[in-house]
Each structure stands twice: as structure tokens, then as C-alpha cells.
Amino acid sequence: MAPNDFIESPVFGVGVTCLAYGLWTLARRRWAWAHVMIGTTLSLIALLVLARIPYASYKKGGDLVSFFLGPATVALGVPLYTNAQRIRKHLPAILIAVTAGSITGIASAYLVAWSLHASPPVLWAMVPKSVTTPISMELARHLGGSPELAAVFTVTAGLIGSLIGPGLLRFLRIRHPIALGAAIGTSSHGLGTARLIHEAELPSSVSALSLALAGIITSLLTLPLRWWF
């Protein structure tokens, strides 16, 4: 197979993604500061830029990787089921926290975009940034925003939250596993949850529940915005 044919095949996108993720996972085991998701993302960007590979060529395999987001999200139900009894005791508090976090996320995103005089497509793409990517893209499309920009804002929010979220919360002396999981799941969706999976089971379980609840609550809160504005 010629090099150009290989780059244009889905095998290329899947292969370089898995390779980069595997290398950064090994790096994480050796150096605690290494962040798997950010390292993988930056490595792929560097590869495409330096090798002058069109994003469309990588996307043929990248779409296959994205397809497995669904099964991966469903798999988060396993630790959730394991800790169901402990979570049930705190369910009212989790619902209140996720609702408050969703409202804060929507309001803060709107105010930041509005204060920077963002155009409507950018503003409405930023509003649902705190929920998982498929939901944020659909909400942005309904609101009149750019789904592509919504995906960028959502991934950025997840990466930042997974990078500094747990450390920031512990610095603020928020160390209860229920509170930690609810905060990360509400603000940083799947990427933040993936970070917690490497640390403890209970916070990651609460985070998985919170990201699902945040998707529902944010959808219910943002749909009326289209009629309002």
C-alpha cells in the first residue's frame, strides 16, 4: 500500500490515535504530571500539522474512534451500578448540585460570550459547552449556533476540567467523593469522568451519573432560550 493510500484509509486515523493514547498512558505511569487526553490531543495535532496531513484524511479513522464513545459511555454504568446504594442516599443533593451547576455553566458561558461581543453562532455554540459533545452539538444547532464550534468548546471545557478540576477542588478543600464527582461530571462531562476513573471508583460513579443528569437538565434549560431570544 502506498503511503498516500494508507493516510487516506481509516486505519491511519485509528492507528495513530491508539498509538498516541497508548504512549501517553505509559508516560502517565512513569510521570504523574503527564495528562493522557491532553498529551494525545496535542500529539495528533502536531502530527497533522508537521506532516501536512489534511484533517479530512485523519477524520476517516477518527470517526470510527468517535463511534465508540457510545459504548464507552454505557460502560460507565458498571461502577454506577456497583455504588448504587451509596449514591442513592445522596441523590437529592446530587440533583440540586447538578441543577445549580448546569444553570451556572449556561449563564457563565452566555455572559462571557456576550461580554466579548461574540456573534450569535459563536455565542449559542458556547452556551451548552458543559455537556457531552453529541448533546452540545444538537443543542447548539437548535439554538442557531455552530455545531462544529460547540464541539470545540465542549472538548476544551472537558480537557481543562480534567486537567485542573480535581486539583482545584481539593485545593478548595472539597474532598468528599460525592461532591467531587458531581462537580466534575457536571462541568467536564466524559473527559473529567475519565480522569476520575484513574483515581477512585465512587467519585467516577457519581461523575458518570452527573454528566447524564447534566445533559438532561441542560437540554431542558436551554430549549426555552430559543423562544426567549
Rama region for 145: left / alpha / beta (φ>0; ψ in -120 to 50; rest): beta
Residue 104: enclosing H or E segment and its boundaries?
helix 91-115
Give a yes or no: residue 94 inside a domain.
Answer: yes
Question: Do 29 and 122 belong to one domain?
Answer: no
Number of domains in the chain: 2
Q: What is the CA 102 to chain-centroid distance, rounded? A: 14
Question: Do 106 and 144 belong to one domain?
Answer: yes
Long-range contacts of 133-138 (CB under 8 A, 24+ apart): 133/69, 133/189, 134/69, 135/215, 135/218, 135/219
Choose the final residue of a domain: 21, 40, 67. Answer: 67
Question: Do 7 and 120 belong to one domain?
Answer: no
Residues 6+ apart with CB under 8 A from 143: 124, 127, 128, 222, 225, 226
Question: Do 209 and 153 belong to one domain?
Answer: yes
Choose the final residue of a domain: 22, 38, 67. Answer: 67
User: Which structural domain, as residue segments, surrounds residue 177?
Assistant: 77-228
The whole-number pLDDT of residue 4 equals 63
Question: Do 50 and 125 belong to one domain?
Answer: no
Give a yes or no: residue 155 inside a domain.
Answer: yes
User: Cα dist. 149→41, 136, 139 in Å?
Assistant: 17, 10, 12
Question: Do 121 and 190 belong to one domain?
Answer: yes
Q: What is the DSSP letter of 116?
A: T
Give a yes or no: residue 194 inside a domain.
Answer: yes
Question: Do 102 and 169 belong to one domain?
Answer: yes
Question: Do 103 and 11 belong to one domain?
Answer: no
The whole-number pLDDT of residue 35 equals 75
The whole-number pLDDT of residue 98 equals 93
Give a yes or no: residue 211 inside a domain.
Answer: yes
The whole-number pLDDT of residue 99 equals 93
Give a yes or no: residue 165 inside a domain.
Answer: yes
The whole-number pLDDT of residue 226 equals 67
Cα dihedral value 148, 151, 155, 158, nearest 10: 150
The whole-number pLDDT of residue 48 equals 87
One-letter amino acid for residue 64 of the chain: L
Q: Half-sphere exposure (CA, 13 Å, Cβ side) for 52? A: 1
Give a yes or no: residue 137 inside a domain.
Answer: yes
The reported pTM is 0.75
Question: Do 88 and 63 belong to one domain?
Answer: no
Give a yes or no: residue 72 inside a domain.
Answer: no
Question: Do 99 and 48 belong to one domain?
Answer: no
SS3 content of the chain, % helix, strand, coil (to 5): 85, 0, 15
Instruction: Select from 14, 10, 21 the least CA-distant residue to 57.
Output: 10
The whole-number pLDDT of residue 78 equals 75
pLDDT < 70 positions in the chain: 1-6, 66-67, 69-70, 72-73, 76, 226-227, 229
The whole-number pLDDT of residue 229 equals 61
Question: Do 60 and 105 belong to one domain?
Answer: no
Choose the final residue of a domain: 38, 67, 96. Answer: 67
CB atoms within 10 A of CB 89: 9
Question: Do 190 and 219 belong to one domain?
Answer: yes
